[in-house]
Amino acid sequence: MPFVYMTPNWSVATPFVTSGTPNTEIDAMFIKPGTRTIAVQSMRVGGKGAGLTALSGISYRLKKYFTTAAAGGTAITPAPGDPGAQAAKATAGGASGGVTVGTGGPTFQVGCTSGAAGPGGWTAENPDSMKVLEGSANMSQDLFVSSGTASMNYEAELHHQE
């Protein structure tokens, strides 16, 4: 039976913010496999706006680099859902201003939206719908964000199994 891990961007001390230029995508967070195959099973996202004077939303897009994985940013340690589980083999990182992009792609995997001050997300309908990367592959699943309004605060989690 696989273990499930959570990779939250809120474990990084810096706040996560969309681009200062409206409708500009940022590659904000990535997860890449270690020696075990990983499968992203959900994205849980939400805007953190307060006292907004305009309605806006945030788009979240999971994209795959299939030649060279993304890198950089601040390390994020995937946390096991079961406290008795082994440490994750996958590695992750994130940065509000973006991470170092990979190569080969990116190819769109799945997307969702949230309000500027509300929740959103995506969950795989079944195991065949999960977004898989083979173990030991130099690939990554990256979370891209954008908004029609500049500099929107948000949080995101990727749940994966390995």
Residues 78-119 have pLDDT tens digits of: 999 998 999 999 999 999 889 999 999 999 999 999 999 989
pLDDT of residue 35 exceeding 90: yes
Please check whether residue 81 is in contact with residue 162, taking contact to mean a CB–CB distance below 8 angstroms: no
Q: For residue 156, what pLDDT is reported?
A: 94
Kindly report, residue by residue over 50-89, the tens digit of the pLDDT. 877 678 899 999 999 999 999 999 999 999 999 899 999 9
Between 19-23, 30-34, 63-67, 93-97, the lowest mean confidence (pLDDT) is in 93-97
**pTM higher than 0.75:** yes
Assess whether the previous peptide bond of 78 is cis (omega < 30° from 0).
no
Indicate the SS3 state at residue 71: strand
pLDDT of residue 11 exceeding 90: no
